[in-house]
């Protein structure tokens, strides 16, 4: 959390052109969501949101602890550079950490929410102008000091905006196969909600925003003749190159936007260490106010030579 704040601060001071690697931000489904909420107001103001993905917090490596007899890194892998700021450990073996199982491990990755939160929560931040959460409460299937929980439910409460129905907005995140329990009239059955998505529950209907796919409005009978608006064309990579050539640092997902989104994501990983305790977040002070011991997990110890400096 602290690191995201500092990186955003350094980028602002340097005036660099930067963009988050949340490439779906530029795709049709996420951009049209903003139009549906802010301009079309097709479901009215949003009352609550549920976001889910089947990806688990660990399981890629099949391990819960580092190997008892770790292998040395092969000569073609610069292991010192690869582990970067993380505490030193041996290579372990193929698919223990390298090349892609690192997400399982607390030393290297951030579990399912760290992998997918920058994508799935992005249209929520964009369409409703969300800022830092007020509180986070976590439940999970169990964890140790090495890997992230396989299954999590994270309950965020955000300050309301002009696009929400009340002064606060509850957003619930589910991963590892957990999903909302849908009992709302007019919604599709649970088995049709298998793909990663967000469901925005509004005053006048429901908006399903798939991770990849066209947003859908429910109840279907109420929106049978509704045509989605055209958000225009965008290309995440070409637009970034154009911004670099033009010196335009105002991309819609630059680090000024990505920093707070990343902080919210990583606060979920702080909350899992204190299950069923509601952590109250003071974004301006960069601290958790009601569980002092949780503040130790807002940052980490960096290996010598890899420390991130404070932005001031």
Domain boundaries, the chain: 2-57+112-298, 61-99
Query: What is the C-alpha to C-alpha distance for residues 104 and 57, in angstroms, rounded to an integer?
Result: 6
Res. 184 pLDDT band, cuts 50 70 90 = low
- Helix, strand, coil in percent for the chain, rounding step 5: 30, 15, 50
DSSP structural state of residue 187: P
Mean pLDDT across the chain: 95
Residue range 161-177: mean pLDDT, rounded: 98
Beta strands in the chain (DSSP E): 46-52, 135-140, 152-159, 168-175, 197-202, 206-210, 216-218, 279-282, 287-288
pLDDT of 312 over the 90 cut = no
pLDDT of 185 over the 70 cut = no
Asked whether the CA dihedral 83, 86, 92, 93 is positive or negative, the reply is negative
Instruction: For residue 199, give the nearest of 183, 218, 186 by alpha carbon.
Output: 218
pLDDT of 128 over the 90 cut = yes
pLDDT of 193 over the 80 cut = no
| Largest CA-CA distance found in the chain, in angstroms, rounded | 63
Res. 54 pLDDT band, cuts 50 70 90 = very high
Query: What is the C-alpha to C-alpha distance for residues 17 and 242, in angstroms, rounded to an integer?
Result: 10
pLDDT tens column, 65-106: 999 999 999 999 999 999 999 999 999 999 999 998 999 999
Residue range 166-190: mean pLDDT, rounded: 84
Residue range 159-178: mean pLDDT, rounded: 98
Query: What is the C-alpha to C-alpha distance for residues 87 and 65, in angstroms, rounded to an integer?
Result: 15
pLDDT of 190 over the 70 cut = no
Q: Which residues, 6+ apart, have CB-to-CB distance to 113 below 8 Å?
A: 57, 152, 154, 173, 175, 265, 268, 269
pLDDT tens column, 4-28: 999 999 999 999 999 999 999 999 9
**pLDDT score of 149:** 98
DSSP structural state of residue 54: -
Query: What is the C-alpha to C-alpha distance for residues 201 and 186, in angstroms, rounded to an integer?
Result: 12
DSSP structural state of residue 303: P
CB 138 within 8 A of CB 153: yes
pLDDT of 192 over the 70 cut = no
Please provide the CATH number assigned to the domain covering 2-57+112-298: 3.30.360.10
pLDDT tens column, 210-258: 998 899 999 989 999 999 999 999 999 999 999 999 998 889 999 999 9
**pLDDT score of 187:** 67
pTM of the model: 0.95
For residue 61, give both structure tokens: 């490596």
Residue with the larger pLDDT of the pair 183 and 165:
165
Res. 113 pLDDT band, cuts 50 70 90 = very high
């Amino acid at each position: 959390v602290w690191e995201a704040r500092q990186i955003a601060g350094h980028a602002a001071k340097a005036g660099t052109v930067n963009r988050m690697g949340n490439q779906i931000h530029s795709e049709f489904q996420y951009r049209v969501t903003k139009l549906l909420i802010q301009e079309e107001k097709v479901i009215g103001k949003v009352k609550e949101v549920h976001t889910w993905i089947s990806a688990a917090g660990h399981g890629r490596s099949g391990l819960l602890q580092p190997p008892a007899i770790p292998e040395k890194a092969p000569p073609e892998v610069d292991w010192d550079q690869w582990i970067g700021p993380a505490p030193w450990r041996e290579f372990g073996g193929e698919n223990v950490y390298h090349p892609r199982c690192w997400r399982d491990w607390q030393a290297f990755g951030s579990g399912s929410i760290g992998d997918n939160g920058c994508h799935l929560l992005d249209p929520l931040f964009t369409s409703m102008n969300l800022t830092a959460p007020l509180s986070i409460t976590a439940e999970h299937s169990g964890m140790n000091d090495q890997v992230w929980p396989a299954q999590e439910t994270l309950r965020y409460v955000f300050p309301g905006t002009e696009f929400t129905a009340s002064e606060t907005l509850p957003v619930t995140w589910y991963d590892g196969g957990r999903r909302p329990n849908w009992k709302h009239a007019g919604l599709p059955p649970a088995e049709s909600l298998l793909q990663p998505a967000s469901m925005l529950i509004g005053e006048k209907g429901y908006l399903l925003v798939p991770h990849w796919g066209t947003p859908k409005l429910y109840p279907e009978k109420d929106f049978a003749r509704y045509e989605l608006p055209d958000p225009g064309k965008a290309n995440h990579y070409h637009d970034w190159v154009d911004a670099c050539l033009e010196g335009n640092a105002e991309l819609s997902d630059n680090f000024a936007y990505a920093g707070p989104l990343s902080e919210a994501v990583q606060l979920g990983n702080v909350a899992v260490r204190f299950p069923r305790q509601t952590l109250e977040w003071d974004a301006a002070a960069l601290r958790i106010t009601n569980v002092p011991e949780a503040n130790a997990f807002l940052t980490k110890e960096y290996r010598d030579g890899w420390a991130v400096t404070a932005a001031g």
